[in-house]
Amino acid sequence: MSDTHGLTPYIKFDIPDGDIFVHAGDFTRCGKLDEVMEFNAWLGRLPHKHKLVVAGNHELSFDETFQTVHNLSSDRRRHTGTALIDEIPTLGNTKESLAEAVQTQNVKRQLTNCVYLQDEGIELYGLNFYGTPWQPEFCKWAFNLPRGEPCLAKWNAIPAGVDVLISHTPPLGHGDLCCSGVRAGCVELLASVQQRIKPRYHVFGHIHEGYGVTSDGKIIFINASTCDINYLPNNPPQIRRDFPEQYGKVVTNNPEIAAFAATF
């Protein structure tokens, strides 16, 4: 799943049980603390043994670089040329909500019912998962990077041999066609995925109208956006049942993730 935008109470379809639940970001409208806590409570009611989550551009409170920029003094912001809260699109939120989200600290700790992945991986059942929230500049929101080298630097950090890549942004040409006719996907991500990383699955969201599954003949690309173009949670979860059935141990280099996984 992806792009639920705080609308999980209004989902009308069942979410089937499984070994691993994946959410590819934009689980809130703007990353306010109460939104994050509600999402975490919803995750806690899901039956899946393992739940993996990345952030998206709507999770303003999760992007420390965004917080740093927007909490600078007015003089400093003018000097550096960075965007003010007043200058970014509200995307249906109030300015007060955006300001509250940006000022929220340590919000990641609220996600106690999942493993939150931000440029890191985890091995589950012999499968390597890697999660990353970044995307090419889009409305000047969280985890935005200029296209080109800045994006590529993030993708270069993804190791080869990942079985399931979870990003918020789609790669160019797969689940990225906007209603305007513009493709919002990242060409550097596409090249990295096809030429070096070569995952079995690439799961993402971000572009609601791109919901669905495509393939290049080797990789299965899944746009798992739950909300449609009208921000209605009408798209059911994407379900995969074709992984190996053998169960392995949980492996990660992140001590916080390891400690969390050990509780299961």
Read off the pLDDT of residues 81-92 as tens digits, 9 standing for 90 and up.
344 466 667 777
Q: Would you state the torsion angle of the CA atoms of residues 154, 200, 191, 23, taken in this order, to the nearest 10 degrees?
A: -40
264 CB-contact burial (10 Å; exposed 0-12 / middle 13-18 / buried 19+): exposed
Q: Of 27, 30, 36, nearest to 109 (Cα)?
A: 36
pLDDT recorded at residue 195 = 98
Residue 130's pLDDT is what? Answer: 99
Is domain 8-261 annotated with CATH 3.60.21.10?
A: yes
Residue 79, both tokens: 């000097």
CA 183/CA 172 separation, integer angstroms: 7
Cβ atoms of 129 and 52 closer than 8 Å: yes
| pTM for the full predicted model | 0.85
Closest CA to 123 of 43, 52, 194, 190: 52
For the chain, residues with pLDDT lower than 70 are 67-88, 242-264
Rounded distance, CA 166 to CA 172, Å?
15
